[in-house]
Amino acid sequence: MHAASAIPAFIGGIGLFLLGMRLMTDGLTASAGGALRGILSTATRNPLRAVGSGLLITTTVQSSSAVIFATIGFVNAGLLSLHQAIGVIYGANLGTTLTSWLVAVTGFDLDIGAWALPAIGIGAVLWAVARGSRNGALGQALAGFGLFFLGISVLHDAFSHLGNDFSLDAIGGDSPLGILAFVAIGIVLTLLTQSSSATLAITLTAAGGGLVSLDHAAGMIIGANVGTTSTAVLAALGATAPAKRVAAAHVAFNVVTAAAALLLLPALLWLARTIGGSMTGTVQVALVLAVFHTLTKLLGIGLMWPLTPRLVRMLERRFRGTGEDEGKPRFLDRNVQATPVLAVDALGLELRRMGTIANGLCISVLEGADRSNRAAGSARLDSLQVAIGEFVAGIPRHDDDPYLADTLPTALRIAQYHVNQGELARELGGQRANAHVEVAGPAQHLAELRSEAVALLRQLQRSPDDGAAASAGHVRFEATYQAFKTSLLRAGTTGLVEPQRMAAVLEYGSTLRRICDQAVKAALHLADFSRRTTPHDDGGDMPTAPAAQTG
């Protein structure tokens, strides 16, 4: 193969590799489903489990970026502390070394086509037949796995022929500046492909084909480790404070690891040669580089582990949230939107916060909030509803996915209930001036009605998804409302209350009843939403929301 034909082969090999990685990652992530959440949740137990969780998920889904995005979602949700999330990041970075080992496997005289092509065929058929199901996702992953190795095989063939004609080592020579030049090449390749795995595949196959020396290939691997942080940096732009902290921790780990690897490069390469040689009896370049890649990650973990508490404190001081703006979502991070199970978790958290805001607004109106505060509170709820709607629309799903088909419409319904509360609260504030009577009986019942409403709303403000408390409180409020209405009508028929005043007070009571009705509906649906999205739920029937009341 001449240079003219090797270049198209190189481009095609990269394309096959990237396509295979994408299909494999998407398929494995989709098939993992709640398992990904379950594995990450074990990271809350201790730092070592956090590293293990990151390692296990990354080796499973073959994407450290997917793991970091999921970790951001867990930190946003309060399910992982920043300290635990950093442990997951360490494990995810160690998990990326599996790609190097998979590439190195092609150097053991394996017949890639004998099993890669059948894997592509079987996986593609399964993906097409069972699309949208777990089996379809596994078929997608299998096809991606075959393309992954087919791409590596094409790259290996292209570089093995190019290596006979020329070498890239002349770019920088054997000086330290030469190593830095190849570090820069590794960074640029990773930025261009947006995949450190692609850079690793290029590096290992190029070194195996004699196109790049071992020292320069090691520099490219170090550069790939630095370049991969660009994904996290881009993800953190405009994101929440927890997302920025996790991304910054990822950058810090890789930069420190790269600097240490450069300083200790001769020693690390000697150790990698020794270990690689002892495994096969001969020095195989791709295998030595896979060992080197693993050693650099272990070195980084060893250096950063004792510094983690200080790093956590620094990041928490540096990146602070925008808690003062209640109209902006706090949990709807685009980094978790691509993973439905994590996106639904984020939705639940945002809906609970929205419920707290809506019920708090209604309480403040009952306690005499001025007009500007009522308008601002209602606008916040409107803004959150728009954000929730946009977030829901961006969650990837299949039409036949019953999990999302049930939960996402429920989320939009809950948001609408809270918006209705805000609009009714504004109405209630405007009616307050005429909502008073001088007659003892109706006046007492009106006071009791307000008190019962405040008690119900305070309970839902504290626990927006407490369905049992919502139902019990609704029963008490309804009984109080009927007593209030009966007392007021009797006073009106006997002439104790003027008809115009009676109508105004009845309208006030009806609006207050509708507010509580919307709050209770939201709580019952949110309780069901939480049950559906909790791992290992019992699959029971959906609770019945109270029927709409009439005044």
DSSP 542: P
The segment(s) of the chain belonging to CATH 1.20.58.220 are 334-533
- Judged against a pLDDT cut of 90, whether residue 297 lies above it is answered with yes
What pLDDT band is residue 51 in, cutting at 50, 70 and 90?
confident
Who has greater pLDDT, 323 or 114? Answer: 114
Name, in order, each residue with C-beta under 8 angstroms of 41's C-beta and a sequence gap of 6 or more.
Answer: 74, 79
The answer to whether 265 and 257 are in contact (CB under 8 A) is no
Report which secondary-structure segment, H or E, holds 9: helix 3-32
Q: How does the average pLDDT of the chain come out, rounded?
A: 80
> Are 93 and 64 a contacting pair, CB within 8 Å?
yes
State residue 324's pLDDT score: 43
Query: How far lies 497's CA from each of 352, 393, 440, 448, in Å?
Result: 41, 52, 11, 18
Residue from 334, 462, 296, 431 nearest 70 by CA: 334
In tens, the pLDDT along 312-363 reads: 889 888 876 544 466 788 788 776 777 777 788 889 989 999 999 999 999 9
Residues 6+ apart with CB under 8 A from 111: none
Q: What is the CATH number of domain 334-533?
A: 1.20.58.220
CA distance 297 to 254: 9
**C-alpha distance from residue 240 to each of 149, 157, 336 (Å):** 37, 45, 12
CA separation for the pair 521, 244 (Å, rounded): 36
The number of beta carbons lying within 10 Å of the beta carbon of residue 55 is 22
Evaluate if residue 490 carries a pLDDT over 70.
Answer: yes
pLDDT of residue 233: 76
Residue 351's pLDDT is 93
* 283/437 Cα distance (integer angstroms): 95
pLDDT at 398: 62
Largest CA distance in the chain: 109
Confidence of residue 415 (pLDDT cuts 50, 70, 90): very high
Q: Does the pTM exceed 0.75?
A: no
Q: How much of the chain is helix, strand and coil, in % rounded to 5?
A: 80, 0, 20
Kindly state the tokens that stand for 477. 């409020």
- In whole angstroms, give the CA distance from residue 74 to residue 390: 21
Residue 238: its pLDDT value, please? 63
E-strand ranges in 402-454 read none
Q: Give which of 451, 494, 489 is closest to 473, Cα–Cα.
A: 451
Q: What is the pLDDT of residue 142?
A: 83
